[in-house]
């Protein structure tokens, strides 16, 4: 299918990203015709994991966070994995990227522990979103409205809780891309 032809999606992650939260959206969006590029902090392949600590595959990347130009993408995805999210949330470039995406009015999608980056970047105040349940207090303390739902869309912000929610997460990403 090519319903998303001409759309470009970026995924940002670090080592120990939760594999299905990166691989499944990447592959689904590519199958739908989108160009999907993966970026890591240093431009090196990413060690994916399952269940946070069980290494799986190495994911090839298309460049470093420094190579990512928000003007060239239609949507940004932040996958989870506790270790990945804990590292990327403190990365100044990652924080700048999500702020630029939000500031440009482009859709921003985060799943599982990925919303930690949104908290650190100051993007959740007054927003309704979901995440892995352990982030609920962080989101509330940052002024967000945390809810326990499969997928939540709030003014261009798309969030989901865990790998079980990936089909709904990807469906909302495709819908957002189709509307751009």
Enumerate the active-site residues: 112
Give the 3-state secondary structure of residue 167: helix
CB 99 within 8 A of CB 77: no
Distance in angstroms (rounded) separating the CA atoms of residues 141 and 28 = 34
Give the 3-state secondary structure of residue 39: strand
Distances, alpha carbon 18 to alpha carbons 4, 90, 113, in Å: 25, 18, 9
């Amino acid at each position: 299918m090519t319903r998303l032809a001409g759309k470009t999606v970026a995924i940002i992650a670090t080592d120990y990203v939760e594999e299905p939260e990166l691989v499944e959206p990447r592959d689904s969006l590519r199958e739908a015709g989108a160009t999907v590029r993966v970026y890591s902090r240093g431009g090196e392949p990413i060690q994916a994991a399952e269940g946070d600590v069980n290494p799986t595959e190495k994911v090839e990347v298309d460049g470093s966070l420094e190579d990512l130009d928000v003007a060239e993408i239609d949507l940004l995805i932040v996958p989870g994995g506790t270790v990945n999210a804990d590292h990327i949330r403190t990365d100044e470039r990652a924080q700048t990227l999500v702020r630029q995406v939000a500031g440009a009015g482009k859709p921003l999608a985060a799943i599982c522990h990925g919303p930690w980056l949104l908290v650190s970047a100051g993007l959740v105040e007054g927003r309704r979103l979901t995440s892995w349940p352990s982030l609920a207090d962080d989101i509330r303390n940052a002024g967000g409205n945390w809810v326990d739902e499969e997928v939540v869309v709030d003014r261009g912000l798309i969030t989901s809780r865990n790998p079980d929610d990936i089909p709904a997460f990807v469906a909302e990403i495709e819908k957002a891309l189709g509307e751009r």
